[in-house]
Amino acid sequence: MEIKKGIAVSPGIAIAKALVIDAEDYRIPRRSIKPSQRMMEIRRARNAFKDAVGELTRLEAIQDETEEGKIKDIFAVHLRFLRDRSLRKKITDLVHSQSVTAEYAVSATLREIAAHFSKVKDAYISERAADIYDIERRLLKQLLGKKREDVEHLTEEVAVVARELSPTQTAGFNKEFVKGLATDAGGRTSHTAIVARSLGIPAVMALENLTDDIGEADLVIIDGNRGIVIVKPDEQTIRQYQEYEREFVELEHKLDAIKEKPAVTRDGVKITLLGNIEFPEEAESVLQKGGEGIGLYRTEFLYLNTTSEPTEDDHYQAYAETVGVFKHRPVIIRTVDLGADKYTQSKRFAPEPNPFLGLRSIRFCLQNLMMFKTQLHAILRASVLGEVKIMFPLVTSLQELMQAKLILRDVMEDLDEESIAYNKNIHVGIMIETPSAALTAATLARDVDFFSIGTNDLTQYTLAVDRGNELVSTLYSSADPAVLRLIRTVIQDAHKAQIDLHVCGEMASEPEYIMLLLGMGVRTMSLAPPMIPEIKQIIRSVTMEDCNNVARKILGMNSERQISNYLRDAARKVLPEVF
């Protein structure tokens, strides 16, 4: 039994067999399998060879002879290797004799050959090492690609273990079979973590080298409450965790029972709880959990699971479906927030050197006007169906806001010309998620109807800590005094300007921050749907006087550690069963 400590990113407990998804661009660790799985792995290895030969043959056939036959020659050499029976036998023998995965056998065998080649003095032969690595990658691509497809067609319960998972990959998991997630990389507010939380799949991230230490189909426990993964647990630990799981489900049922009750503090202050969604189908779960509308619809997910750009009608259908669930309650549609860890990097010809500071969010939209206008057109059309609001992400300056609003006006004029109905008084807001926006909030407030504080990015940009990088995850904290001072400024400026103020970053989903946010003056929060009952329970257990005291105390503190400890203790007193 081995216990690994990471970051708890999505609550709940999963006990299931590991399904390990290796990554082609990382070393493939030696992963043992049970003797009964050997035949299946050998079959996988043989199929990978067959498919790689098929792929190369097709590529060779379409190569132009005029290139002096160079490319054709390279492919011919690769094909000769792939057709070599002794190579194939060496790999399948390794799977058989050492009970290892097909991926490991392919990688270990080919790397050994490559190492051998590179030591040869003859330059022609030593350069062949590069070809062997190329062949290794091609075979791994076949093996890993198939496995990724298999994850979409699971028939038994698994815990997915990977070095890294993309938000899109995670969004495609079938909740019925994927019981938990554990990754080496990632952080609490990475988009993959956000998707896991939205789907309600227990997850732990930042486990650093979990994928090296796990065998295929090993039993694992993923404890998304404490941030722990236990590999090959003993009988006693399994029983203990089955008990934890039962208690957790019981607590969830208990909390679900308050669904119909209002989110009011003990001294009668009403708080509005909205939901964050990535897909229209999630709107229903916000309603189920007692949410009063959508405070953040991350529409970029419309782009993330398709290969072609969504049409205006795709946008419209998605918005109409969401608004249909909430009728006359607010649905805040955030315009696409692509870039950084979402979509554009994988599709870019040349990846950006620093994508989180690059062409993302509203900047990306302002440089891709056709795409931006298509989305605005669809949002405006949907605006007559309910209480739709528009929100621009990652605004960093007044000029950027003005540009975005100008384009919105253009699109409104287009709709007027086409005689298409839309809400002419649609509310327009911005996310405050950069220090520059927070520091100029008083100015920005004059031109918008609401602010929504995106604490995930605001924390990242204030502290200069990548929100998805496990190497700096201990430095990432919204309880840092610098972050809290910026949040306070934004709240005060919104109140002075008499515009609505929401918090939609993960801070609003974290129980220990609730008293502080209320004490600082927040009255509307938007959060991951599964967290709504728990947060509501906290709100119903406190008085505004308690919250004001917490805020006053915290804002006088100068250390993140001191603030975090104080917040945890205060929350524990209010709701001991949750902490």
List of residues contacting ligand PEP (CB under 6 A): 194, 296, 298, 337, 433, 454-457, 504-505
At closest approach, how far in Å is the CB of 453 from ligand PEP?
7
- Which does residue 504 touch among ligand PEP, Mg ion, none (CB within 5 to 8 A, set by kind)? ligand PEP
Residue closer to Mg ion (CB basis): 114 or 517: 517
At closest approach, how far in Å is the CB of 565 from ligand PEP?
24
At closest approach, how far in Å is the CB of 404 from ligand PEP?
16
Question: Residue 454 interacts with Mg ion (CB under 5 A)?
Answer: yes
Q: Is 547 a catalytic residue?
A: no
> ∠ at Cα 323 (322, 325), nearest 5°?
70
Residue of 110, 116, 129, 125 lying closest to 27 (CA atoms): 110
Question: Residue 310 interacts with Mg ion (CB under 5 A)?
Answer: no
Neighbour count for residue 187 (Cβ, 10 Å): 24
The pairing of strands 2-5 and 228-231 is antiparallel
At closest approach, how far in Å is the CB of 486 from ligand PEP?
13
At closest approach, how far in Å is the CB of 298 from ligand PEP?
5
Q: What are the contacts of 143-151 at 24+ separation with CB within 8 A? A: 143/44, 143/45, 143/48, 143/102, 143/103, 143/106, 144/21, 144/22, 144/23, 144/24, 144/103, 146/44, 146/47, 146/48, 147/21, 148/21, 151/19, 151/21, 151/178
- Which does residue 275 touch among Mg ion, ligand PEP, none (CB within 5 to 8 A, set by kind)? none
Selected binder of Mg ion within 184, 216, 341, 457 (CB under 5 A): 457
429 phi, psi to nearest 5 deg: -130, 175
- What is the edge-to-edge ordering of all strands in the sheet holding 158-162? 2-5, 228-231, 219-223, 13-21, 158-162, 178-183, 203-205, 7-10
Containing 167, the helix (H) or strand (E) segment is: helix 167-171
**Is residue 490 helix, strand or coil?**
helix
At closest approach, how far in Å is the CB of 194 from ligand PEP?
6
- Choosing from 78, 365, 502, 504, the catalytic residue is 504
Containing 107, the helix (H) or strand (E) segment is: helix 102-119
Can you say whether the dihedral through the CA atoms of 358, 360, 363, 368 is positive or negative? positive
- Which does residue 143 touch among Mg ion, ligand PEP, none (CB within 5 to 8 A, set by kind)? none
- Choosing from 78, 191, 315, 427, the catalytic residue is 191
- Which does residue 129 touch among ligand PEP, Mg ion, none (CB within 5 to 8 A, set by kind)? none
Residue closer to ligand PEP (CB basis): 92 or 452: 452
Q: Whole-angstrom Cα distance, residue 521 to residue 268?
A: 15
In the stretch 415-434, what mask flags binding to Mg ion with x, by CB under 5 A? Answer: ------------------x-
In the stretch 49-88, what mask flags binding to Mg ion with x, by CB under 5 A? Answer: ----------------------------------------
- Which does residue 22 touch among ligand PEP, Mg ion, none (CB within 5 to 8 A, set by kind)? none
- Phi/psi region, residue 278 (left: phi>0; alpha: psi -120 to 50; beta: rest), is alpha
- Which does residue 455 touch among Mg ion, ligand PEP, none (CB within 5 to 8 A, set by kind)? ligand PEP
Q: Is 191 a catalytic residue?
A: yes
The contact set with Mg ion (CB under 5 A) reads 433, 454, 457
Q: Which residues are marked as active site?
A: 191, 504
